[in-house]
Amino acid sequence: MTDTIRLPNASAPVPASRAVLSLSNRLAASMSRRGLFYGWAVAGATFLVMLANAGAMGAAGVFIVPLQKEFGWSAADISSAFAIRLALFGLTAPFAAAFINRFGIRPVVVTAIGMVSAGLLASLAMTQLWQLVALWGVLIGFGTGMVALVLGATVAARWFHHRRGLVVGMLTASTATGQLVFLPLLAKLTEDHGWRAALGFVVVMLLLAGVVALLVLRDRPSDVGLAPYGARAPDPPPPQTLAFGPMLASPLRALAEARASRTFWVLFVTFFVCGLSTNGLIQTHWIALCGDYGVAPVAAAGALAAIGVFDFVGTILSGWLSDRYDNRWLLFVYYGLRGLSLIVLPFTDFSVVWLSAFAVFYGLDWVATVPPTVRLTVQRFGAERSNLTFGWIFAAHQLGAATAAFGAGAFRTELMTYLPALYAAGAACLVAAALALTIGRPRPALAAAAAAAE
């Protein structure tokens, strides 16, 4: 089976963007002559965009202590703004899927990068808490939500029939890794030159990713005369483009249809726990948590970067496993191990040895839950509806993250310790592990369709 199947009538580029589209067409043709599938270039550009976007998301954890020192804001005050950002990051996801379906991948990505960059640049001059809420909470929350995991799920579903789980794993790894691996550099820039210098670096990184997205991204394989990777024939034409009003209503219709499914609610609740136990707790509060045990910010950021490195390996491995094994049991193992690691962490002395061990164990499991969750969503709800349905499941992830971001900050302010937040997150993971095994097998028709697509 060949990886590329050329269609007789590829869509013609529109005049306003003829030069950019022509470049991607030429690149696709050049790769095809060498036996390479252009979808890998699209996946690579998406990887870079999600990596840069995740770097902007992860930067927040570095700035809690500097903002406290400069403006006198409490951990609870700052955490409330970051919690709003995480909530909007997730609640935007279903509508991001609708915008992608209506306007296309590249326009949505470029617009989102512009919003995030504008918010970061404006925050360089902020002096009031409401400005932090408006910029980091609202504007950056909306912008980052437009290019979150829904973007990766859409690219994987449209461009790949084979290796879909692997591609989801790669793109998910870029999100989690980007939130962590830049932290040592950002912490160092903050320590040596102030938090504004670190923000400037993030803006440059975002703009470079935006240029790559503008040049490489295309909506579907048929746009460059190809079929999806591993497909015997081209996918059918996409549904007729909805008008703006129905487009905005489409995520709500998807939610109305999905809410009758018990599987949807199990995935919703377990992914809430996923966000609760990763982005909201460890990513946001790790540096401050380690500071309570005498660990310097740069050293704590280094441990987070190590988590990011092992997460990259673990998530790609999870994608490979999700193509081969029962995804329900994978979720059981992932949530169970994560819960145990969070419960054990407070009993360590936060020495280099224990932090290194935690980074390896917890890092391999950081977002390994995403590939099985995406595959279960596609299997249960179909390829065409999966990005909208997964958007709501991802919204649950970020609501969980927002809960932990605010709750952990409140615990720290009121009780002077993060320990209750760690125990609560660990216990929630164990509950999620048990819930994952209650997911039923897909209906025969959907199972057959999923098997045919793979």
Q: Are 274 and 362 in contact (CB under 8 A)?
A: no
Separation CA 257–CA 354 (nearest Å): 46
Contact 307, 366 (CB under 8 A): yes
Is 445's pLDDT higher than 60? no
3-state secondary structure of 160: strand
Dihedral (CA of 244, 249, 253, 254) sign: positive
User: What's the CA gap between 234 and 213, in Å, rounded?
Assistant: 24
Q: Which residues pair with 229 in a beta bridge?
A: 160
Q: What is the mean pLDDT of the chain?
A: 81
**Dihedral sign of CA atoms 394, 108, 381, 235 in order:** negative
% of the chain exceeding 90 in pLDDT: 18
Measure Cα distances from 418 to 230, 299, 365, 405, 406 in Å: 48, 19, 21, 11, 12
Q: In 3-state terms, what secondary structure has residue 229?
A: strand
- Global pTM? 0.68
Region 200-214: mean pLDDT is 91
pLDDT of residue 87: 78
Read off the pLDDT of residues 90-122 as tens digits, 9 standing for 90 and up: 788 778 878 888 888 889 999 999 999 998 899
CATH top-level class for 36-223+243-449?
mainly alpha
What is the tally of helices (H) and strands (E) in the chain? Answer: 21, 0
Full DSSP string of 257-281? HHTT-HHHHHHHHHHHHHHHTTIII
Where residue 379 falls among pLDDT bands split at 50, 70, 90? confident
CB atoms within 10 A of CB 158: 23
440 or 377, higher pLDDT: 377
Query: Position 395: which residue type?
Result: A
User: What's the sign of the alpha-carbon dihedral 97, 202, 368, 260?
Assistant: negative
pLDDT value of residue 383: 63
Q: Residue 442's pLDDT band (boundaries 50, 70, 90)? A: low
Say yes or no to pLDDT of 242 above 90: no
pLDDT at residue 340 above 90?
Answer: yes
Rounded CA-CA distance 424/18 in Å is 54
User: Residue range 282-305: average pLDDT?
Assistant: 83
Q: pLDDT category, 176, cuts 50, 70, 90?
A: low
